[in-house]
Amino acid sequence: MTERAQAIADRVEAFVRETVVPYEKDPRATSHGPTEDLLREMRAKARAAGVLTPHILPDGGHLTQRETATVLIRSGLSPLGPVAVNTMAPDEGNIYLIGKLGTPLHKQRFLDQLVSGESRSAFFMTEPADEGGAGSDPSMMRSTCHRDGDHWVINGRKSFITGADGAKVGIIMAKSEDGACMFLVDLPDPAVRIERVLETIDNSMPGGHSVVMIDNLRVPADQMLGASGEGFKYAQVRLSPARLSHCMRWLGCALRAQEIATDYACTREAFGKKLIDHEGVGFMLAENMIDLKQSELMIDWCADVLDEGSLGTVESSMAKVSVSEALYRVADRCVQVMGGKGVSGDTVVEQIFREIRAFRIYDGPTEVHKWSLAKKIKRDHAKALVG
C-alpha cells in the first residue's frame, strides 16, 4: 500500500473511532438515516480534521481503487463513518461518474458541491416492481424522455431512490427513442415529487430510500451526460467501482462487529469459563477471521483489475457475491456470539447485521450476479468448442 493512502486511512480511522462512533447513539440517527442537521455537524468536524472526501486528492484526482479500498474500509468502521467523511453511496459513485464523464460545466456546477460535502445526490434508475419497471434488469426501464427544443422532457416513476429526500443533485436515467439516457439535474424541483420514504431494514443512508414521481421535468439539453442512447454504457463506468466500494465500506462495519463480539466473548463468563473458551463460540469467531481476510483479498484483487483499466464487470460481480455473503455470515455469527446483547440496540452490532443483510440485495442480488456469471461460463464454453 502507498504511503499516502496509508496516511489518509490512518487519519480517517482515528476520526471515525474518536469522533463518529459517539454519534451512533444520537437520536438524530433516525430510521430514515441521519438528519441533515447531524450530517452537517459531522461533516463540519470531518472538514476541520482534514478527512472530508478523503479519496479525492487536493488536485481533484482520485486515489487508485486499491488505495481507495484502504481508506473506505476505515471509513466503514461505523455505519455513520461514510456519511461523516463523504464516502457514502450514492454520492461516492456519483462523484466517480461525473468525474469520468462530465463536461467542465457539469463538474463546476454539480461535481464541486458533492466533493466539498456541501450537498448530497441521488441516482434515479430503479423503478417500482409492481409496475413492471427496471430493477435488477435495467432494460425494463419505463421512464421516458424526449427532446423539446433546447430541453429534454422526462416522465416516469422511480422507486428505492437512495438519498432523494434532501438531495441537491440528481442523475436521472430514462429512455429516449435511441435508448437509455442520463441527465444531471438540480434538486429539489417541483416536477420531481417524493411520494413516500420507504421503511427499510437499513438506516445508515441520509434521506432513506424514496418512491419518486417525475412529471414533465424539463432539463436543458447540455445537462445530458454524454449522448442520447448511451446511458447503459455509461452506467457500466459507475457500476463496478460502486459495487466494490460497497464491499469496502461494509467490510469496515463487519470488522467493527468482530471487534465487539470478540471483546464480549473474551470477557463474558458462562458455565465456568470465558465464552471464547467454548469451542462453539471460539470457532465462530475463527470462521469470521477467515471470512474477513478472504473478503479483504477479494476486494484487493478486484481493485487491481480496475486499476489496470478494465471495466471489471465479471470481477466485480464475483467480489460482490463473495464479500456480501461472507460479511453476512460474519455479522450473523457476531449476533449469535453475543446472544441477547447481540439483538439489542446496546451495541452497534445489531444495526451492522441489518445493514449487511440489505447489502446482499443492493447493487444486484447475489442470485442475479450468479446468473450473470453462469451465462459467461456458458459463453466461454461455446467459444472454446468453436476454437
pLDDT at site 278: 97
Asked if residue 248 belongs to a domain, the reply is yes
**Domain that residue 63 falls in:** 3-88
Asked if residue 41 belongs to a domain, the reply is yes
Q: Clarify whether residues 217 and 237 are in a common domain.
A: no
pLDDT at site 26: 96
| Residue of 327, 314, 326, 307 lying closest to 364 (CA atoms) | 314
pLDDT at site 254: 98
User: Is it the case that residue 387 has pLDDT exceeding 80?
Assistant: no
**pLDDT tens string 119-169:** 999 999 999 999 999 888 888 999 999 999 999 999 999 999 999 999 999
Amino acid code (one letter) for 354:
R
Q: What is the rounded CA–CA span in Å between residue 353 and residue 350?
A: 5
Quick one: cell of 255? 470488522
Q: Clarify whether residues 223 and 239 are in a common domain.
A: no
pLDDT at site 180: 96
CATH code of residue 307: 1.20.140.10
pLDDT at site 360: 94
Q: Clarify whether residues 252 and 271 are in a common domain.
A: yes
Q: Clarify whether residues 216 and 237 are in a common domain.
A: no
- What proportions of the chain, in percent to the nearest 5, are helix, strand and coil? 55, 20, 25
Q: What is the mean pLDDT of residues 296-322?
A: 96
Q: Are strands 169-176 and 179-186 parallel, antiparallel or unpaired?
A: antiparallel
pTM metric for this prediction: 0.94
pLDDT at site 380: 94
Q: Clarify whether residues 272 and 208 are in a common domain.
A: no
**pLDDT tens string 200-251:** 999 999 999 999 999 999 999 999 999 999 999 988 888 899 999 999 999 9
Q: Tell me the DSSP string of 315-374.
A: HHHHHHHHHHHHHHHHHHHHHHHHTHHHHSTTSTHHHHHHHHHHHTTTTS-HHHHHHHHH
Q: What percentage of residues in the chain have a pLDDT greater than 90?
A: 93
Q: Clarify whether residues 260 and 360 are in a common domain.
A: yes
CATH code of residue 187: 2.40.110.10
Q: Kindly report the CA angle at 255 between 249 and 260, in degrees rounded to 5?
A: 130
Q: Clarify whether residues 140 and 223 are in a common domain.
A: yes
Q: Clarify whether residues 29 and 127 are in a common domain.
A: no
Q: What is the rounded CA–CA span in Å between residue 255 and residue 248?
A: 11
Q: Clarify whether residues 247 and 311 are in a common domain.
A: yes
Q: Clarify whether residues 244 and 360 are in a common domain.
A: yes
The span from the first CA to the last CA of the chain, in angstroms, equals: 40
| Residue of 328, 350, 349 lying closest to 263 (CA atoms) | 349
Q: Clarify whether residues 83 and 125 are in a common domain.
A: no
pLDDT band at 331 (very low <50, low <70, confident <90, very high): very high
pLDDT at site 60: 87
**pLDDT tens string 38-65:** 999 999 999 999 999 999 998 889 999 9
Q: Clarify whether residues 378 and 275 are in a common domain.
A: yes
Helix (H) or strand (E) run with residue 154 in it: strand 151-162
Could you say which of 198, 227, 256 is where a domain stops? 227
Asked if residue 364 belongs to a domain, the reply is yes
pLDDT at site 95: 95
Domain count, the chain: 3
Could you say which of 88, 110, 136 is where a domain stops? 88
